[in-house]
Chains A and B, each alone.
Chain A
Amino acid sequence: MSLDYDALDLARFQFAFTVSAHIIFPAFTIGLASYLAVLEGVWLKTGDEGYLKVFDYWKTIFAVVFGMGVVSGIVMSYQFGTNWSVFSDKAGPVIGPLLGYEVLSAFFLESGFLGVMLFGLKKVGPGLHFFATLMVAVGTLFSAFWILSVNSWMQTPAGYAINEAGQFVPSDWWAVIFNPSFPYRMVHMVLAAYLTTAFVVGAVGAWHLLRDSTNRGARIMFSMAMWMALLVAPVQLVAGDMHGLDTLKHQPAKVAAMEGHYETRKGAPLILFGMPDDEAEVTRDAIEIPNLGSLILTHDWNGEVKGLKAWPKDQRPPSALIFWTFRIMVAIGFAMAGLGLWAAWARWRGRLDVSRWLHRAAVVMGPSGFLAVLCGWITTEVGRQPWTIYGLLTTADSASPLAAPAVSTSLIAFILVYFTVFGAGTFYILRLMAHPPDSDVDISAIGPTRGAGITPALAVRRGPTGPST
């Protein structure tokens, strides 16, 4: 059975679609789980009910987002086999056990303690409840660790041999897990998740401050989020730069495509904007800064930077796409750092809670983390084409022997279902966010919200073991 070109494209698009839809949820829940742990920790330490209210506010939203992350994640764990069976057979012995560890150390931990975190405060008391919240947060980080190790191994394979059946088999687990690009990718992605969450929390805080600048919950949210923007966004810029330099070392073709470089040259310019044309092998209408490209990439004014023409045409990633996704991501990174500085200045002048233009900017920046995460992943994943396992196994050789109609039917089903279901979920989340954090939620307005615990503030105050205030 031969795989025709159409089925391969459809399978690629299906994976791109399902994984893009999925990454949005963990990018948010990794950060939000840690944020919830911090909020509950502050509440337990200070006894300040304001933090518990903010905790309950975000816990409800976390439950909805996490539910969507779970169901879209189950899909991913089967997509390898349904659409990429040859890849699964060949790479299974190396990456399978890493995924196995993700399930055992992360998914069970998250889901096992999630129920207690969402519904169990009164049943188990604050101490154990805080422990459950911590376990959920730790679980999300373990999950990121393993899945990013898998992805990094596919980008920079190490510690493997190839057996007589043509499978990749492990020869050194340490080298497999801590493969060359993993530490950079891990730091870059976890910081991205934290920033994504910070900007969502900041936007919600800002939105409510615009209506009522005395709202205590909104103040807590906005202040904490802007501290994160100030401190983490610059670190992320540095981490991203280091990740880029590591990519240059292991995947120079990807970097050439990101930069729109077709010619190999010494003293290469930095192309700020332009239109890469992969057919004509030239970046049109380029606005460039001479020599800066070499300086950034090689830390040498006249360093040599490889262009895409150094690789045969069928081994080049498409520059036209990732040139732009990369720039959008970087621009958002700088904008985040900028907002952090602006907020710090407002804070210094005592105007953090009343600076309306700052709040408006923060609202606009609310979804920017998701866009940056998606653009970053498109850059790194499209940039490693035409390989699934870099330099070793091509995407075309990885796919299942499926016929195009089977793949297109399932693709259409995924698109319809995801847009309907996750569209509804997004609507519910926005509606939850529209409620001011301090006020008690008007239950009749949105339905019986026992769902994910809007009430525990009261329950805990009455509870036998709750801290007295």
Chain B
Amino acid sequence: MVLDLPFIWAGLIAFAVLAYVVLDGFDLGVGILFPLLGDKTSRDSAMNSVAPVWDGNETWLVLGGGGLFAVFPLAYAVVMPALYAPIIAMLLGLVFRGVAFEFRGRTQRAKVLWDASFALGSLVAALAQGIALGALVQGIAVENRAYAGGWWDWLTPFSLSTGAALVVGYALLGSTWLVMKTEGDIQLRAQGIAKVAGAGTLAAIAAISLATPFLNPAFLDRWFGWPTAIFSVIVPALVAGCAYLLFAGLNRNAERQPFFAALGLFVLCYCGIGISFYPYMVPPSVTIWDAAAPDRSLGFLIAGALVLLPIILAYTAYAYWVFRGKVDSEGGYH
């Protein structure tokens, strides 16, 4: 492991994608759960709880994509055509759910249509992201700096299960977010959903964790070869800890603990993927260093990133602070 610019950038991109997954995760999750949230007032509250922040959350996705283009152009150029269909599906899903925030408040008659657009768009985006992730974990065929596989390589039982898993995981994040941000009937519903989604998420984590090492000998060696096998003890133990905090929190009606425990689960799964992947950017053949742009490009952007990222984190935190506390169907906007 060398602490050079490509390595640092791999860390920063990984951070951006993680930030995206946890932030947009809860707001996509709210969308996925939208049809289950009860009456109009409850749905308004749910929408209000994410309306001021969704746009910032999705900007992390642009940083993930734009950052990949900037610092790992080869990875960007290989992954995007390889995952063409799920990426396009994700983008279209995000269009439908993104416009719903403003559109549903602009109409009485068609409101139910934009509610559906919000829910389905969120579901499609989440599913497509999960499928894309699964396809990436499976590996992407590369020859002569270009994608060399077929057009349906991304579609496998494994990628479909990661797709389903991410939907359930986002539902967990969304429901625990609602437990934290709402009160009354909708909070009770969210609590019930969170228990089901929590169980589903844990089952999915277990199944996918068991399947992953057998996709690629390098993954198998990473998890069962010495000394990295130590992670095979640490990561599951921490997952168990988060799972305990999640359910204990839900059972004693804690409002914040379930959300942060669910975040913990996501961070751990993400670390697990990172442990499998390293040093590859696009398994099984393109490493971080193969994919990296020249140091001159990396250095130029890192100067800005080191100054701007802390500022971004500060005002993002400020925006969350301004809109802290409970929302209701009316109050979220003023």
Contact = CB atoms under 8 A, between A and B. Distances in A.
Interface of A: 1, 63-64, 66-68, 70-75, 77-78, 80-82, 85-86, 88-94, 96-97, 99-105, 107-109, 111-116, 118-124, 163, 165, 167, 169-171, 173, 400-403, 406, 410, 413-414, 417-418, 421, 424-425, 428, 431-432, 446-453, 455-456, 459
Given A70-B55, A119-B332, A450-B330, A97 B300 contact: yes
From A104, A105, A113, A447, name the one whose CB has the most chain B CB atoms within 10 angstroms: A104
B334 A119 contact: yes
A77 B56 CA distance: 15
Given A78-B65, A85-B147, A108-B59, A417 B96 contact: yes
B77 A456 contact: no
Given A82-B84, A428-B107, A417 B334 contact: no
B120 to A, nearest CB: 12
Contacts of B293: 92-93, 96-97, 167, 169
A169 B294 contact: yes
Nearest to A67: B102
From B44, B65, B151, B304, name the one whose CB has the most chain A CB atoms within 10 angstroms: B65
18 contacts: A71-B94, A74-B91, A78-B65, A89-B73, A89-B76, A97-B293, A101-B301, A115-B53, A170-B294, A400-B77, A402-B81, A406-B84, A406-B151, A413-B88, A417-B95, A448-B44, A451-B105, A459-B334
B103 interface: yes
B152 to A, nearest CB: 10
Interface of B: 44, 51-53, 55-56, 58-59, 61-63, 65-71, 73-74, 76-81, 84-85, 87-88, 91-92, 94-96, 98-99, 101-108, 110-111, 117, 145-148, 151, 293-294, 296-297, 300-301, 304-305, 308-309, 312, 315-316, 318-319, 322-323, 330, 332-334
A425 B103 contact: yes
A112 B316 contact: yes
Contact of B80 (A85, A100, A121, A448): A85
Contacts of A119: 51-52, 323, 332-334
Q: Is the interface of A mostly helix, strand, loop or mixed?
A: helix
Contacts of A80: 69, 76, 80
Q: Is the interface of B mostly helix, strand, loop or mixed?
A: helix
Given A70-B98, A452-B105, A116 B80 contact: no
A406 B76 CA distance: 18
Contacts of B71: 96-97, 100
A263 to B, nearest CB: 42
A393 B184 CA distance: 61
Nearest to B332: A119
B224 to A, nearest CB: 34
B95 A96 contact: no
B274 to A, nearest CB: 21
Contact of A447 (B59, B69, B107): B107
A170 B105 contact: no
From A66, A78, A115, A118, name the one whose CB has the most chain B CB atoms within 10 angstroms: A78
A64 B300 CA distance: 35
A449 B99 contact: no
Contacts of A403: 151
A99 B95 contact: no
